[in-house]
Amino acid sequence: MKAHSSRRTTSSASIELPKFDPSSDDRGASKWCDEIEKLGATFHWLEHEQISRAASSLVGEAKEWFPLWQPTEKSWENFRTEISNMYPPKRNLHEKFRKASLYVSGDASSYNIRTLTDNFSATINKNTNLETDRQLAYDRIQRQATLAKQSFDKKRRSTKIINVGDFVFHPSGNSHLAKLDAKYEGLFEVLQLLPNDRFELKNLATNRKRIVAKDMIRIWPGEFSGVLAE
C-alpha cells in the first residue's frame, strides 16, 4: 500500500496534463474531457480535484469562460456537459461561432453580435429605395453645387460682359511656347452662351468650335474692326 501510494503521488504531481485551446483544437472539448477522465481514473482523482486540474489546463477563450461558469452544482458531469456543448467539434467555418462567444464577446465578429445582426438584416430589402436614394443624392449635390458657385461668384472679380457675336481670344494650349510666341489663339466668335459660365466659340481661321469657360476668355479690344467688317 505504501509503495502504491508513493507511486501514485509522484506520478500525479509530475504528469503534464493536456491543454485545451478552443482556437486551435478542432476536435472539441469532448475528446479533451475523455483524456482528463482517463488520467483521473489512473491516478484516482476526486471529483473536485479533477475539475480543478482540468480548469488549470484551459487556455485562451476557455480559460476566460471558466470563472463565469456558475452552475447549481459543481460536478464533473456538469462541467463536461457544459464545456462540450460550448466547444463542439469544428467541421466547417460556420461552427466556429459557438455558444462560448455569448460569454466572452469582445468584438462585432462574436456569435451574439452576428446573430442579432442576422435577425433584423434579413428582413431589410436593400434594393427597395435605391431610386429614391439616388434622387435625394442628386438633389443634394445640385444644391451644394449651386451654393458653391454662388459663393465663388461673390468672391471672384468678374467684370467681363460677353454677348453672342463678340470676338474673343483664348489662351494657347501649347506648353512649349517660346518667349516671343503668341500666348493666345484667335480670333474666336461667340456662338452661344451655355450653363455654368461656358461659351461656345468658333475659330474664324479654321471654323472649328470649342466650349470654353468664361475665366479663360480674353475680350478683343476692337482694334482693326474695319478689317473684320470688310
Summarised one tens digit per residue, pLDDT across range 42-77 is 898 999 999 999 999 999 888 888 888 888 888 999
pLDDT confidence tier of residue 2, bands split at 50, 70 and 90: very low
Place of cell 479690344: 221
pLDDT (tens digit per residue) in 197-218: 899 999 888 899 999 888 888 8
Average pLDDT over residues 134-147: 89
Write down the pTM of the prediction: 0.38
CA–CA dist 96, 194 (Å, integer): 62
